[in-house]
Amino acid sequence: MNKDVASHLTPLIDRFALHSPISSEDRAELGKMPYKLRSYEAGSYLLRDGDAPVQCGVLVSGFAYRHRVSAAGLRQIVSVSIPGEVYDLQQLHLATADHNVQTLTRCTVATIAHAALLEIAAKRPSVARAISATTIVDLSIAREWMLNIGRRDARMRTSHLFCELAFRLNRGSVPSGHTFDLPMTQEQLGDALGLTPVHINRTVRGLVKDGLIVNSHRSITIPNWGALVDEAGFNSRYLHMVPI
């Protein structure tokens, strides 16, 4: 199952390299990690609240989301993972998961045992560092989400999320007229933004009416990137991503 190692783990290594220097030996070592390739239907759980997490996963293809459910049964989506991202470093050193990770679409996932990753991290400080850096960027995104949910109105919140996803999906540069997949229902958007699905509907329609986005079949087109950025008050700095 490890024949084409480099191609499946490349996103993980690239993500690491994005925020922290990774030497070619590190690359080689990381590329040799044993992993398993699996496919999941849309809606499958990749991690369940209460589980003991024992593996990391790279989303080779597909979207996933991370969510917590309160004692009262209220759900908050706390992050969205896009193709090529690692979705499970957030639980690397914890005995019990405190949230769920669920697929939004059919996904192909390369899973790596925590033990394997920790072993390399123990041998190679730069890998340990890269894991930390990746987690720190997740934390920065979480801070921006708190600001978004806590302090912006529905319209800004929604356009801010669209900006973030477009920017991440396009790795740091979004041309006007760009289209991207957004495989989330309006209920899921509501759970991500702290709003009701009904209000998400009205808000998205408002953005469409004002020509800020075009919305069809779970994909979003941004006719004018600058206009949406202004609407959202979006500043990509928190993503700590160097534009390509």
Sequence-separated (6 or more) residues with CB below 8 Å from residue 153: none
Scanning 4-12, 139-147, 208-216, 220-228 for contacts with a second copy by CB under 8 A, the matching segment is: 139-147
Tell how strand 178-181 and strand 100-103 pair up. Answer: unpaired
Cα-atom radius of gyration of the chain, to the nearest Å?
A: 18
* Residue with Cβ nearer a second copy (111 or 126): 126
Strands in 107-113's sheet, in edge-to-edge order, are: 36-40, 107-113, 55-61
Residue keyed to tokens 């790795």: 171
Class of residue 42 by CB neighbours under 10 A (exposed 0-12, middle 13-18, buried 19+): middle
| Contact status: 47 vs a second copy (CB under 8 A) | no
Among 106, 129, 178, 199, binds a second copy (CB under 8 A): 129
| Contact status: 39 vs DNA (CB under 7 A) | no
Among 34, 50, 172, 197, binds DNA (CB under 7 A): 197
| Contact status: 185 vs DNA (CB under 7 A) | yes
Q: Smallest distance from the beta carbon of 148 to DNA, in angstroms?
A: 11
Partners of 66 in the beta sheet?
Answer: 79, 101
Q: Are 203 and 155 in contact (CB under 8 A)?
A: yes
Phi, psi of 179 (to 5 degrees): -120, 140
Q: What would the DSSP string read from start to end of 135-158? A: HHHHHHHHHHHHHHHHHS-HHHHH
Instruction: From the list DNA, a second copy, none, pick the one residue 99 interacts with, judged by a Cβ distance below 5 to 8 Å according to partner type.
Output: a second copy
Question: Segment 14-43, which members bind a second copy (CB under 8 A)?
Answer: 19-20
| Contact status: 233 vs a second copy (CB under 8 A) | yes
| Contact status: 132 vs DNA (CB under 7 A) | no
* Residue with Cβ nearer a second copy (38 or 75): 75
Q: Which two tokens stand for residue 130?
A: 């890269």
Q: Smallest distance from the beta carbon of 140 to DNA, in angstroms?
A: 24
The whole-angstrom distance between residue 158's C-alpha and the CA centroid of its chain comes to 16
Scanning 11-19, 80-88, 161-169, 182-190 for contacts with DNA by CB under 7 A, the matching segment is: 182-190
Instruction: From the list DNA, a second copy, none, pick the one residue 186 interacts with, judged by a Cβ distance below 5 to 8 Å according to partner type.
Output: DNA
Among 49, 144, 181, 187, binds DNA (CB under 7 A): 187
Scanning 60-68, 77-85, 95-103, 186-194 for contacts with DNA by CB under 7 A, the matching segment is: 186-194
Q: Are 81 and 94 in contact (CB under 8 A)?
A: no
C-alpha angle 139-145-150 in degrees, rounded to nearest 5: 130
Among 44, 76, 132, 186, binds DNA (CB under 7 A): 186
Rule CB under 7 A: which residues touch DNA? Answer: 153-155, 185-187, 194-199, 201-205, 217-218
